[in-house]
């Protein structure tokens, strides 16, 4: 059943080491993310706040900063980063193309259209709600837009066998959604223009326990389920015919994977805006280092994506404090050069 030719025992221990290393990196990133911020807090204060929280003691001093601002934000960053990277790894496997990112099936562009539509045209909807609920309305519209776009891509793209049609349908739906964004940009007033610019650059600002709670199930469930599909994705690497000979049903698999990826990516984009490069970079990076085995790639991408996002968000929070940078800028700024450096170290023919 396995597409991997490595001896089983050897593969297993190498995988354990790799995932253990990535988990350690994630832990370091999380500690770093909790330790830094615009508010100068000592390690003692941060640890004290966390311990008091775990002991159920009342908050004191600057505990609120640690417990209601930093902690949910670090958790949100890790979930969103993990979801984006794991979705990216899944899509790259599904399309057997290392340049694919989760946005390819239209979910990011659809979500952007939904969110921006709500920002620009939803005045009547958001006016009757409190501003806080209004921000949830924007997230809801984004989530709906992302799912709808993905559904359309899938409907048009699955008429013929193979992934090529799906890919092209994704390109077309993306173009239509971005045209819609263009029209809305024209209609927007100055304030809305600034809002939607920031939305398209992504931000974890304003993350609270409520927002985290609203989105966590939609990110956690795909994160738990996707790695269980590693063997099927490995089989798919051999080709669709080969995969079905091995007992997998490529059609059914594709539908399930696209749905789950759309759920996870849609939820991430809805809450935090479009955060580029994580879904493309992280899985690609791991593949360059450890090869294409999805049993390592999927959980590994989740761990590395979470760590990268926590790190990027920490930079976004402190770089221009007391203001904040859009996190999407950081992921691209950190990720791009690193990726190039890695590519330059490879001999020709090794990439992909």
Partner 1 sequence: MFERSRCWLGAVALALCAQVAAADAPRVVALGGDITETVYALDAQQSLVGVDSTSLWPAAARELPNVGYVRQLAAEGVLALRPNLILATHDAGPPPVMAQLREAGVRIELMPATRTPEGVVAKVREIGRALGREAAADAIAHRIETQYAELSKAVAGMKSHPRVLFLMATEGSPKAGGRETAAASAIVLAGGTQIADGFTGYKPVSAEALVALAPDVILLMRERADEVGGVSGVLQLPGVALTPAGKARRIVFVDGQALLGFGPRNAEHELELQRVFAGVQP
Q: Given the complex with partner 1, which of 68 and 259 has the nearer CB atom?
A: 68
Site membership for partner 1, residue 315 (CB under 8 A):
no
Distance CA 318, CA 38 (A): 6
Closest C-alpha to 87, from 275, 232, 223:
223
Asked if 224 and 264 count as a contact pair (C-beta separation under 8 A), the reply is no
Q: How far apart are the first and last CA of the chain?
A: 23
- Give 2's DSSP letter: -
CB of 325 to partner 1, least distance (A): 9
In the region spanning residues 322 to 351, those forming contacts with partner 1, defined by CB under 8 A, are 322-324
Residue whose entry in the numeric block shows the structure tokens 């690497």: 237
CB 320 to partner 1: min, Å: 7
CA 253 to CA 256: how far, in whole Å? 5
Give the number of other CB atoms < 10 A from CB of residue 251. 12
CB of 20 to partner 1, least distance (A): 27
Does 127 participate in binding partner 1 (rule CB under 8 A)? Answer: no
Residue in 70, 254, 287, 295 binding partner 1, rule: CB under 8 A: 70
Total residues at the site for partner 1 (CB under 8 A)?
46
13 or 42: CB nearest partner 1: 42
Burial readout 32-58 (b: 16 or more C-beta within 10 A, e: otherwise): ebbebbeeebeeebbebbbebeeeeee
Alpha-carbon gap, residue 208 to 141, rounded angstroms = 19
**DSSP conformational letter for 98:** T
Does 118 help bind partner 1 (rule: CB under 8 A)? no
Q: Is 216 in the site for partner 1 (CB under 8 A)?
A: no
| In the complex, least distance from residue 134 CB atom to partner 1, rounded to whole angstroms | 6
60 binds partner 1 (CB under 8 A): yes
Rg for the chain, CA atoms, rounded: 21
- Tell me if 320 contacts partner 1 by CB under 8 A: yes
131 binds partner 1 (CB under 8 A): yes
When binding is defined by CB under 8 A, the residue of 29, 69, 111, 327 that contacts partner 1 is: 69
Whether the ω angle into residue 96 lies within 30 degrees of 0, i.e. cis, is: no
Q: Which of 159, 186, 241, 341 binds partner 1 (CB under 8 A)?
A: 186
Phi, psi dihedrals of residue 266, rounded to the nearest 5°? -60, -45
Asked if 290 is part of the footprint of partner 1 (rule: CB under 8 A), the reply reads no
Q: Which residues contribute to the site for partner 1 (CB under 8 A)?
A: 37-40, 42, 44-45, 47-48, 51-52, 55, 57, 60-62, 64-65, 68-70, 130-132, 134-135, 186, 188-191, 194-195, 198, 203, 205-208, 211, 317, 320-324
């Amino acid at each position: 059943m396995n597409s991997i030719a490595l001896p089983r025992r050897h593969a297993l221990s190498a995988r354990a080491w790799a995932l253990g290393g990535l988990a350690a990196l994630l832990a370091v990133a999380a500690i770093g993310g909790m330790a830094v911020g615009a508010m100068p807090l000592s390690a003692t204060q941060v640890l004290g706040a966390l311990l008091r929280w775990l002991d159920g003691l009342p908050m004191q001093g600057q505990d609120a900063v640690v417990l209601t601002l930093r902690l949910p934000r670090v958790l949100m960053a890790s979930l969103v980063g993990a979801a984006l990277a794991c979705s990216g790894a899944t899509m790259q496997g599904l399309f057997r193309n290392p340049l694919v990112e989760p946005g390819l099936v239209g979910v990011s562009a659809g979500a952007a259209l939904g969110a921006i539509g709500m920002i620009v045209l939803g005045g009547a909807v958001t006016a009757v709600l409190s501003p806080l609920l209004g921000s949830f309305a924007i997230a809801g519209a984004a989530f709906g837009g992302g799912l709808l776009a993905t559904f359309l891509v899938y409907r048009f793209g699955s008429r013929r066998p193979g992934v090529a049609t799906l890919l092209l349908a994704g390109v077309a739906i993306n173009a239509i959604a971005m045209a819609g964004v263009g029209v809305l940009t024209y209609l927007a007033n100055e304030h809305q223009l600034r809002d939607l610019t920031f939305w398209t650059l992504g931000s974890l600002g304003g993350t609270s326990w409520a927002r985290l709670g609203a989105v966590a199930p939609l990110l956690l469930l795909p994160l738990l389920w996707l790695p269980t599909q590693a063997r099927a994705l490995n089989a798919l690497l051999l080709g669709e015919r080969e995969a079905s000979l091995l007992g997998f049903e490529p059609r059914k698999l594709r539908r399930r994977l696209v749905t789950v990826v759309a759920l996870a990516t849609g939820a991430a984009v809805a809450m935090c805006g479009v955060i580029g490069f994580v879904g493309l970079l992280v899985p690609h990076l791991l593949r360059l280092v450890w090869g294409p085995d999805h049993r390592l790639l999927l959980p590994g991408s989740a761990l590395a994506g979470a760590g990268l996002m926590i790190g990027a968000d920490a930079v976004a929070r402190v770089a221009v404090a007391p203001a904040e940078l859009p996190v999407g800028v950081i992921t691209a700024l950190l990720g791009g050069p690193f990726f190039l450096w890695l590519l330059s170290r490879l001999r020709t023919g090794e990439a992909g």
